[in-house]
Amino acid sequence: MIENKNKYTTMIKTEAKRLGFSSCGISKATFLETEAPRLERWLNNQMHGEMSYMENYFDKRLDPRLLVEGAKSVVSLTLNYYPEERQVDDNYKISKYAYGEDYHYVIKDKLKELLAFINDEIGAVDGRVFVDSAPVLDKAWAAKSGLGWVGKNNNLINRKSGSFFFIAELIIDLELEEDGPTTDHCGTCTKCIEACPTGAIESAHIVNGSKCISYLTIELKDDIPEEFSGKLDNWMFGCDVCQDVCPWNRFSSPHKEARFIPNNELIQFSKREWKELTKETFNEIFKKSAIKRTKYEGLLRNMQFLGE
């Protein structure tokens, strides 16, 4: 039995690497006891703003066995999205994760391949794939699996690759060899807290989602509150500030995923061209992009709020 656990674990990690995942770690599927009170406090303090979906499925967020019957292992994976190319300077800014094709599609395709491999090479294994669109605390599981530690900005950070990567999970009813958590290496650094343009990182590990630029420019459907006027630092979709200032991201290296290569218009557009963007052009440029989430009207709202 132990030999099989080791063998299957090695097989899965090797295949994950072949599929292009940056790292793969495994945890026992169990209740997230430490995270439960933190999540409850965060919700009770209304730090999720209008993201009411965060209040749903509280128990499922904390126990993967409620998502997959008989679940024994949570396989956590990361996929690098750090771009080689950047937007032109003095521009409305877009978070780097949205430069290429919508990561949900890219990662789900890879996860389905991994699950198919498990069923073909190991046997009938029941499981589900998750890419941040389901009630799974992905950073908690990735940290438990040793893929990094949760930094003061609540992003998962890896000593060798920084934090510019996506996190995904495969929850399966197959018992595998567990990886232990790594240690925290933020030390006394508070660069992310000091750099946050809206003060959303209120203290270490306490991120007020309702103040976050990513929330204001993507999740918030109403008008952006005037209290944030002049504080969005030209971000019109998402925000990378707390990652850009993180010392560990000096180790970030460009991704090798063809589907994340940015649309040339996105990289080259000037402020003037963004302002002249039509709905037809928006639909054409961003038809496979995560930017569709904010919709054309949302992007216009964000640009208007930013002004010149």
Q: Which residues carry out catalysis?
A: 132
- β pairing state of 235-237 and 93-94: parallel
119 assigned binding-site residue: no
Confirm or deny that 302 is annotated as ligand binding.
no
Cβ neighbour number for residue 240 with a 10 Å cutoff: 19
| Rama region for 81: left / alpha / beta (φ>0; ψ in -120 to 50; rest) | alpha
Do residues 141 and 76 make contact, with C-beta atoms less than 8 angstroms apart?
yes
Residue 126 labeled ligand binder: no
Q: Which uninterrupted H or E stretch holds 149? A: strand 149-150
77 is in an annotated binding site: no
Q: Is 214 annotated as a binding residue?
A: yes
Tokens linked to 194: 């000091």
186 is in an annotated binding site: yes
Residue 24 annotated as part of some ligand binding site: no
Question: Is residue 275 annotated as involved in ligand binding?
Answer: no
Joined tokens for residue 162: 């920084």
Where helices occur in 122-263 by DSSP H, the ranges are 138-144, 191-195, 213-214, 241-244
Q: Is 93 among the annotated ligand-binding positions?
A: no
> Cα separation of 74 and 178, whole Å?
9
CB 208 within 8 A of CB 200: yes
Give the DSSP per-residue string, 7-76: HHHHHHHHHHHHTT-SEEEEEE----TTHHHHHHHHHHTTTTTT-GGGGTTHHHHH-GGGTSTT--EEEE
Binding-site positions read 61, 132, 153, 156, 167, 186, 189, 192, 196, 212, 214, 221, 239-240, 242, 246
The binding site for tRNA consists of 221
Binding region for cob(II)alamin: 61, 132, 153, 156, 167, 214, 239-240
- Binding-site residues for [4Fe-4S] cluster, in ranges, read 186, 189, 192, 196, 212, 239, 242, 246
